[in-house]
Amino acid sequence: MTRAGTPFGERGGWIRGGLDLAAGRFPRFVFGGDVGDLLPVFHFHDETRGDLESKFQYLSENGYHAVTADEIGAYVRRQRRLPERSVALCFDDAWASVWTNAGPLLRRYRLRAIVYAIPGRMTDARACRPQDSGSERFESPFMTWPELRALAAEGTIDVQSHTLTHAMVFTSRALVGFVQPGYDRTPLLARPLLSENEGVPSFVTESDLGAPLYEQRSRMSDGLRMRPSLGAHEACVRLVRSEGSARFFSEPNWRQRLDAIVQSEGDSRPLESADEHRRTIERELDAARSCLNERLGAGRVNHVCLPWGVSGKCTELALKRLGFATAVANRMTGVHAVRPGDDPHWLKRLPNRYIYRLPGRGRRWWFLEQR
């Protein structure tokens, strides 16, 4: 995925991390200090049981208490105090491992997590999968609706929104490459949106060998979406498939041939309008909240974590219009933790490896944690 057309504020990586370090954006407890009035908020994704258990055990043995999204919102607005040694444990995307790995451990250590789910990516099922399945891979990489409901009903997780589809979109006609063998290593949620048929999204996949790729940004950014030519997409994929799929890319002129198809099949449709952009962002936020509340049979979903921490002016305004209590979104200023008085629509977090930097028995030194 190219970063050429992506504003620096929307990028991660070691350069951004180094700047955050130099700018003093890491809370002092990371370097051996105390927590003070900060609420440390840690994010997780698709985690192994072994890695989770050591962190949950550290929290439990040192008397830490995990809070909900509503409690974070009230704390930021100075409407309530939190118990000493409070933290927030946030699982993004609602991967199946939240059900198989995190759920049993949260229960064992009497902790509670906030799970930011993507309803547009989830599937139904007749029953929950076994929770003792270890590292087994399932047809759906995400939790199913019965699993999400089960953990929410027992109070193990606080379900909130991660937008409707968690989409990357093309934002320029600048061609940056084509889908090649090895695209399966591209993270699932970083594969861009191709089209939407009656509201059902279709994404570029590893089977689309030869498909053109353009500059892309988060759907929740201020980047206006470019709808790619489906004719060019289908013609490129068809050519590659007819000439041996992966073998096609061993030909010396493969790039020129695909470039020629894009040139001949491309069209001149404009980027989406500002009004289309606003409506799409509002749908990503509002439809996700409505779906989760309806499916869970509760009205507690009113918080959102924005994919990749990316927000723009349009998203910020939409959050306020729609009445969202909080949003997790990164920006170039502020500390990577939550403080009373912070802007509730720009809350920041830390990777979960920094759990070991919290004060307590067995605390790890900062320089050891960076290895």
Instruction: Give the pLDDT band (50/70/90) at residue 23.
Output: low
Residue 359's nearest CA partner among 52, 5, 46, 63 is: 63
Give DSSP secondary structure letters for 181-220: TTGGGS-GGGSPEEEEETTEEEE--TT-TT-EEEEEEETT
Strands (E), the chain: 41-44, 65-66, 86-92, 113-117, 157-161, 168-178, 193-197, 200-203, 212-218, 303-305, 326-328, 350-351
Class of domain 14-165+278-369 (CATH, top level)? alpha beta
Query: What is the pTM (predicted TM-score) of this model?
Result: 0.94
- Tens digit of each residue's pLDDT (9 = 90 or more) over 37-64: 999 999 999 999 999 999 999 999 999 9
Mean of all residue pLDDT scores within the chain: 92
pLDDT digits 0-9 by tens, 144-190: 999 999 999 999 999 999 999 999 999 999 999 999 999 999 999 99
Q: For residue range 110-142, list pLDDT tens digits in order.
A: 999 999 999 999 999 999 999 876 555 667 899
pLDDT digits (tens, 9 = 90+) for 234-262: 999 999 999 999 999 999 999 999 999 99
Domain residues of the chain, as ranges? 14-165+278-369, 169-218+228-268
Tell me what pLDDT residue 1 has.
Answer: 40
